Structure 1
Amino acid sequence: MRIQARSTQLEIRDEGPHDGPAILLIMGLGLQLVAWPDSLIDGLLQAGYRVVRFDNRDIGLSQHYDELGVPNLPWQMLRQALRMPGRPPYRLQDMAQDSLGVLDALNIERAHVLGVSMGGMIAQRMAIAAPQRLRSLTSVMSSSGARGLPGPNASVRQALLRRPGGDTESILQHMLALYQLIGSPGFQDDPERLRRRILAGIHRSYHPEGTVRQMSAILADTRRAQALTSLRCPTLVVHGRQDPLVPLACGEDCAARIPGARLEVIDGMGHDLPDGVVQRLLPLLLPHLAAH
C-alpha cells in the first residue's frame, strides 16, 4: 500500500491488530521492507503488536529522487574529513520526517520505533525531533555518527565501493559476496534461502542511485551525536560483537551518549539478521517494548 507521508510517497506494510501497540520498523541502507526477517515479524505479531514497515525514500516501491542527481561520494568523504559541511540531496532529518509521516498517515499517535543500521540513525533522528511520538527506541547495529569512531574494515569498504554489472546474476553475486563479508560468523544463514531473498528483492526493485543518495545523507549527518545526549526516551541499543561494517565501538558510543540507554551485545553477530540472531534479539526486544 502506498501512502503520502508528509512530502514523500512511501510503500508500507501494516500488519497485526490495529488496536494493539504499534511498532515502526526502519530498514537500513539500500534495503527494502521485504528485507525484514519473517521470524522477527512473526515474533512481534505473536506478541500482539501492530507491525508497520516501509520502503525508505529512494528505495523499493517508494518515491525515487532521481531528479536530484547522484552525489560524488569520494568528494563528499574528503569534505567530511576536512570538516567541511556536506551538501546531500536530502538529509537523515528528512527521512525521519518521512517516518513520522507514516505514523501520521496511519493515525498512530505514539509508537515503538526499531531501526537497524541506517534505520537506527533515522530512528535516533525521530527521537530527537519528536520524542513525544516514541514509546521507546531500539537502535540495532547502528551508530551515533560521532567523529573518530571506527568504520568498515578494508575488505568491506572495497566491496561497498565495487559496482556490479547491470544483469541480474552479476547483481546477485555482488550482493551475496557482500553478505558473506558482513554476515554473522556465529549465525550462518541458509545460503539458498539468502539467495532467494536477495533475488526477490532485485526483482521487486533495484535502484542503486537511491542507495548513493542515502549514503550521502549518512555522511552529512555529523551533529547527531551531540543531540543524543539530550534524549529522554527509553532506549535499547543492540550490537554484534563481530560487526565488520559498523564496529561494536559505534554501538557502545550510542549507548553511552543516550541517557539511561541499555546496551546488549550479541556474540557471533555481524551486520545482518539471520534467524539465529533474531532468536537472540527477540528476548531482549520484547521485554523492552512491554516495559514502555
Structure 2
Amino acid sequence: MTSVRANGVDLGIESFGRQDDPLVLLVGGTTMLSWPDALCERLASRGRRVVRYDLRDSGASTTLDPENPAYGLRDLAKDAAALVEVLGARTAHLGGIGVGGMVAQVAALDHPDAFSALTLVGTRPVAPGPVDDDLPDHDRTVMAALFSRPQPDWTDRDAVAAFAAEGAEPLGNDPAQARATAARIWDRTPSTDPAVHQANQLGTVFARIDCAPRWRERLGELDVPTLVVHGRADPFFPVGNGEALAAEIPTARLLVLDDMGTALRHSAADQVAAAMPTD
C-alpha cells in the first residue's frame, strides 16, 4: 500500500498484478477494503492491473474534517479520472461499490474518455437523501434496529470490530468477514480522532457532501460495457435499485447474488471476476 497525488489530494492505493496490464480501478466505498482481497487477486490473475483506493477522508487518503467536507461528488469523480492519468494508463475499467458506485457513475459520465468499462456494486442511481418514488428505500425496520444500537468507543479496536460483527447479519453480511474488515480499517486509520474512525467505518462523510446536480437522467449516455452487481439480501439499497440502474444503462448486465447483502463476500470473488467486462 502507498499513496499518490491526484487532483490535488493524496489518495491511498494498493496495487495487484503487473503494471503493464490493462487497469482496473476500484473506488472504495469508502475505504478500499470494501473490495475483497480475493476479488483483486482473481482479476490480477486474469491479466489485469488492479488498483483499489480510498476516497477522501478515509483510509490512507487525505483526511481533513470528515464532519465538514469542503468538496462534492464531482470532486471525487475528478479524483478517479486524475488517478487514471497518474497511474500511467490511457483508460481504466472503473469499479465502484456502495457510495463508490455513485462516484463511478458520475466519473464515467463526466470523464468518458478516462473509462472503458464499469462495474457497479450495491449502489443506486441517486444520491444520499430522499429517494425517487420508483426506487425502494432503506428497510426501515432494519435501519431502526441498527441505528438504535449504542455506539462503540471508536478508538477501541476490539469494540469497533465487535460492533461491525454484531451489525452484519441484519445487513445480509458475514459477521466474521465484517469483524476482520473493521479491524483492518481501524488499523489503517492514521488518526486517534473518534470522528475519523467513525467516518472510516461507516462512511458518514459521504452523507455530508454536495451531490448536486442529479445524474440519473443522464445514465442513457453511458455506452461502455457495464456490470451491475446487487445483493438480493441488501436492506440498505434493496435490489430494486440495482435493477433500475441496470435498466437505465443501455449496455448494462445485471448480476443478482442471492446470498449477498451490502458487502461483497469473499466467496463471490470468482463469480464476480468472471462476470466483469473485459472492455
TM-score by length of 1: 0.82
Q: Is the 8 A contact 2:95 2:119 kept in 1?
A: yes
Aligned alpha-carbon RMSD (Å): 2.2
Q: Give the letter aligned to residue 181 of structure 2.
A: R
Aligned to 2:61, the other structure's residue is in SS state coil
Residue 175 of structure 1: aligned partner = 164
Residue 22 of structure 1: aligned partner = 23
1:194 and 1:208 mapped to 2: Cα distance? 15
CA apart distance, 1:183: 2.7
1:196 aligns with 2:183: no
Q: Give the letter aligned to residue 152 of structure 2.
A: P
Residue 214 of structure 1: aligned partner = 206
Residue 252 of structure 2: aligned partner = 261
CA apart distance, 1:131: 1.1
Aligned to 1:104, the other structure's residue is in SS state helix
Which deviates further from its counterpart, 51-60 or 143-152? 143-152
Q: Give the letter aligned to residue 23 of structure 1.
A: V
CA apart distance, 1:264: 1.8
2:64 and 2:138 mapped to 1: Cα distance? 27
Q: Is the 8 A contact 1:131 1:232 kept in 2?
A: no
Where structure 1 has 5 or more consecutive residues not aligned to the other structure, the ranges are 72-87
Aligned length: 262
Aligned to 2:33, the other structure's residue is in SS state helix
Where structure 2 has 5 or more consecutive residues not aligned to the other structure, the ranges are 190-195
TM-score by length of 2: 0.85
Deviations along 1:126-150, one digit per CA (max 9) or x if unpaired, are 1101111111111111100162222
1:161 and 1:22 mapped to 2: Cα distance? 42
CA apart distance, 1:217: 2.8
1:108 and 1:62 mapped to 2: Cα distance? 21
Runs of 4+ in structure 1 deviating by more than 3 angstroms, as ranges, are: 160-163
Aligned to 1:207, the other structure's residue is in SS state helix
Residue 120 of structure 2: aligned partner = 139
Q: Is the 8 A contact 2:222 2:251 kept in 1?
A: no
Q: Give the letter aligned to residue 5 of structure 1.
A: A
2:15 and 2:79 mapped to 1: Cα distance? 16
Rate the CA distance shift 1:207–1:234 in 2: closer, same or farther, 3 A: same
Aligned to 2:221, the other structure's residue is in SS state coil
Which deviates further from its counterpart, 163-172 or 100-109? 163-172
Residue 33 of structure 1: aligned partner = 32
1:194 and 1:227 mapped to 2: Cα distance? 34
Which deviates further from its counterpart, 151-160 or 112-121? 151-160
CA apart distance, 1:282: 2.2
2:34 and 2:254 mapped to 1: Cα distance? 24
CA apart distance, 1:45: 1.0
Deviations along 1:69-127, one digit per CA (max 9) or x if unpaired, are 725xxxxxxxxxxxxxxxx7422211111111211211211011111111111110111
Q: Give the letter aligned to residue 212 of structure 1.
A: T
**Structure showing the higher helix proportion among its residues:** 1
Query: Which of residues 121, 137, 157 is equivalent to 1:151?
Result: 137
